[in-house]
Amino acid sequence: MSRKIRSLALSSAIVLTAGLALAGCTSDIEASSGSSDAAGGELSIQFVNPLPNYPSWRTIGDCLAEEAESQGVDFTESGPTGSAMDPTTMITQIQSAIANKKGAIMTLPASDAFGPILKQAQDAGIVTTTFYGDGAADSGADINVGVDWTELGKLYVEAIETLPGEKKVGLMTSADTGIGKSWMDGVKAAAEGLDDFEIVGEVYTGDDSSKALSQANALLTAHPEVNVITTNLGTATAGTLSALEAKGLTGQVQFLGNGPDNGGKEALLAGTEYRILMQDLCSAAKKSLDATVEALKSGDAGGETQQIAMGFIMAGTDDYDDLVAKNWG
């Protein structure tokens, strides 16, 4: 079987890059393009970036800004600083964008509180675009960038199934609710009925990189039979690999992570990480910006959610460089 397991380009529900975490220091991080000097306006867009300093989200923000400039649209970015997500600050910045009568708001719905505030934006005639939301009727999203969790689960399970022998799998995610639960449900559904595949434990980090080491240690201590650890969190890579190294389990316990950041690239190329999930971040960001601009021009807000596919590939060393050259991350 090819080391490139499978790619996804689906137009339904949701996924993750860097889910929910602790509150950090906050401030507005501004980046604008276009010619408008007004606080808001018909063709003004506010992107509330959940993690502006995290490489994947930095890529999304930069690609949105580039596409906005090419479209001649006034584009502003804000978000919390530091390495942890701060939903409260994000909501405050969305409220500010509503008050400033921005034409559109783009963001990650980082908690259940985002649905009502995005619905409020829609009621004010503002176009709303979400990344990794579910696009449901109560989501408040006119446009959503995401993926089908069931298909994503199949992608993970297919990759793990290329390993020889019995698979005793430990899952690491943000929480047993929301995005974390959706991802785990997808993996469990894909693994159902497999004789050589057993999920033996789950741990949660809140998508806080500082908790990955302790949670990986907890998983390995509680379930010494684990021989595969996998995660949907880019923030889990360094801590998990450190735990395996400290316990002398590198190469014995296989790790499948999310993205090249936080040591993922180096680990993949060194052979200490078996596979990494990679996403077509820039292409999806630009498509979402184009759809947002089209909705602004047509005045189409508050209707059925338009779904935009995020492309995914479970990459190995054979296709990693080609994917990077195509701006996957």
- For residue 264, give the H/E element and its range: helix 264-270
281 neighbors 306 (Cβ within 8 angstroms): no
Express each pLDDT in 120-139 by its tens digit: 999 999 999 999 888 888 99
185 neighbors 153 (Cβ within 8 angstroms): yes
Pairing of strands 306-309, 143-146: parallel
Rg (CA), the chain: 20
Cα–Cα distance for residue pair 125/40, rounded to 1 Å: 12
Distance of CA 180 to the CA centre of its chain: 11
Mean pLDDT of the chain: 87
Q: What is the mean pLDDT of residues 22-41?
A: 42
Beta-bridge mates of residue 204 = 173
pLDDT at 23: 31
Express each pLDDT in 168-202 by its tens digit: 999 999 999 877 888 999 999 999 999 999 999 99
pLDDT at 24: 34
Angle of CA points 241, 59, 146, to nearest 5°: 85
Percent pLDDT > 90 in the chain is 67
pLDDT at 110: 87
- For residue 198, give the H/E element and its range: strand 197-204
Express each pLDDT in 223-235 by its tens digit: 999 999 999 998 8
Confidence grade of residue 291 (pLDDT, cut at 50, 70, 90): very high
pLDDT at 58: 92
Query: If DSSP codes are grouped into helix, strand and coil, which group holds residue 185?
Result: helix
Given a cut of 70, is residue 167 above it in pLDDT?
A: yes
pTM recorded for the entire structure: 0.76
Question: Minimal CA–CA distance to 47: which of 89, 116, 93?
Answer: 93
Cα–Cα distance for residue pair 153/242, rounded to 1 Å: 25
Express each pLDDT in 81-113 by its tens digit: 877 778 999 999 999 999 999 999 999 998 889
